[in-house]
Amino acid sequence: MSLTMRAVLSDITGGKGPATALHITEIPKVTPSNGEAIVKIKAFGLNRMDLLQRTGHYPVPPQAPKTLGVEFSGTIESLGEGCKDGFKVGDEVFGLAYGGAYAEYIAVNAHMLLHKPSHVSWEEAAGVPETWITATQAMYLVGGFEEGKSILWHAGASSVSISGIQLSKIGGASKIFVTAGSQEKIDFCVKELGATAGFNYKTQNWSEEILKATDGKGVDLVVDFVGANYFQGNLDVAARDGVIVHLGAMSGTKLPAGVDIGAFVRKRITFVGSSLRSRDVNYQRKLRDKLETYLPQFEDRTLKLYVDKVLPWENIVEAHQEMEKNTSKGKIICTIS
Q: Is the pTM of this model over 0.95?
A: no
- The span from the CA of 273 to the CA of 11, in Å, is 33
Q: Yes or no: say if 144 and 171 are a contact pair by the CB < 8 Å rule.
A: no
Residues 313 and 323: their CA atoms lie apart, in Å, by 14
Q: Is the separation of the CB atoms in 174 and 152 below 8 Å?
A: no
What per-residue confidence (pLDDT) applies to 146? 97
Residue 64 confidence (pLDDT) = 86
Average pLDDT, the chain: 95
Q: What is the pLDDT of residue 2?
A: 84
| CATH number, span 4-128+278-335 | 3.90.180.10
Q: At how many degrees (to 10) do helices 159-170 and 129-136 cross?
A: 50
Averaged pLDDT for residues 222-235: 97
Question: For domain 132-273, is the CATH number 3.90.1150.10?
Answer: no
User: How high is the pLDDT of residue 13?
Assistant: 60
Q: Which residues contact 53 (CB under 8 A, 6 or more apart)?
A: 60, 68
Nearest to residue 222, comparing CAs of 58, 212, 232? 232
Give the pLDDT of residue 61. Answer: 85
Contact 233, 256 (CB under 8 A): no
pLDDT at 15 over 70: no
Q: What number of other Cβ atoms are within 10 A of residue 171's Cβ? A: 18
What CA–CA distances, in Å, run from 21 to 250, 282, 318, 320, 321?
22, 35, 11, 11, 12
Picking from 254, 316, 225, 326, the residue whose alpha carbon sits closest to that of residue 18 is: 316
Q: Is it the case that residue 272 has pLDDT exceeding 70?
A: yes
Q: What percent of the chain has pLDDT over 70?
A: 99
User: Are the C-beta atoms of residues 103 and 7 closer than 8 Å to each other?
Assistant: yes
What phi and psi, each to the nearest 5 degrees, are found at residue 106? -140, 140
Q: For 82-140, what is each residue's pLDDT tens digit?
A: 887 789 999 999 999 999 999 999 999 999 999 999 999 999 999 999 999 999 999 99
State yes or no: pLDDT of 294 exceeds 90. yes
Q: Is the pLDDT of residue 304 over 80?
A: yes
Domain residue ranges of the chain, discontinuous segments joined by +: 4-128+278-335, 132-273
Percent of the chain beyond pLDDT 90?
Answer: 87
Q: Give residue-wise pLDDT tens across range 159-210.
A: 999 999 999 999 999 999 999 999 999 999 999 999 999 999 999 999 999 9
User: CB-based contacts of 205: which residues, under 8 Å, 6+ apart?
Assistant: none
Q: Name residues whose C-beta falls within 8 Å of residue 46's C-beta, 6 or more positions apart in sequence.
A: 69, 319, 320, 323, 331, 332, 333, 334
